[in-house]
Amino acid sequence: MNNERLIESLEKHRLAIQDETISKLDFDQMENDLAEAASALSVLDKKEKLCDQLVEDFKSEIKRMALAVSRAKGNLSSTGLVEKLLSSPEMSYDDLKFLRDKVREEFNQSFPASPQYRVVVNEAESNFKMGDFKTGVGANL
């Protein structure tokens, strides 16, 4: 039985008990429905715990990226703001996802996966010498 039908069935049992129409109660059906409800609640409890763990991992990832970006920029005030947003009880899944995307975008800009600019692509193709890029004492100016 799916959850919607189980809820409807339990509601019928509740109404019959409330109206004190014991003759309308099907005790065998009520027993089956209650056993099924207990099983469904057990499954829901496991899913709730899993969801809580996933949300905490999600928030932890956002905090780590925000902290790394803040340290790289030398400004820790944004980390406090991110942590405050993450601790908000009104934060929906869409808000959390939006915050993660913004923090991830900032993280990727601060820590690119590959070098942004290459000065010398390949020594064989280049006419430059490393001395051309040296500055300071001993540089060939």
Residue 12 lies in a domain: yes
Residue 50 lies in a domain: yes
Residue 75 lies in a domain: yes
**Domain that residue 95 falls in:** 3-113
The two tokens of residue 127 are 């006419």
Residue 96 lies in a domain: yes
pLDDT below 50 — which residues of the chain? 139, 141
Give the pLDDT of residue 124: 55
Give the pLDDT of residue 15: 85
Residue 126 lies in a domain: no
Q: Enter the pTM of the model.
A: 0.62
Number of domains in the chain: 1
Place of tokens 């902290």: 67
What b/e sequence results for 59-70 when a residue is b if at least 16 CB atoms lie within 10 Å of its CB, and e otherwise?
beebeebbbbbb
Give the pLDDT of residue 139: 47
Residue 83 lies in a domain: yes
Residue 134 lies in a domain: no
Q: What backbone phi and psi angles, to 5 degrees, belong to 55?
A: -65, -40
The two tokens of residue 118 are 């290459």
Give the pLDDT of residue 67: 92
Give the pLDDT of residue 134: 57
Helices 93-110 and 77-86 sit at what angle, rounded to 10 degrees? 160
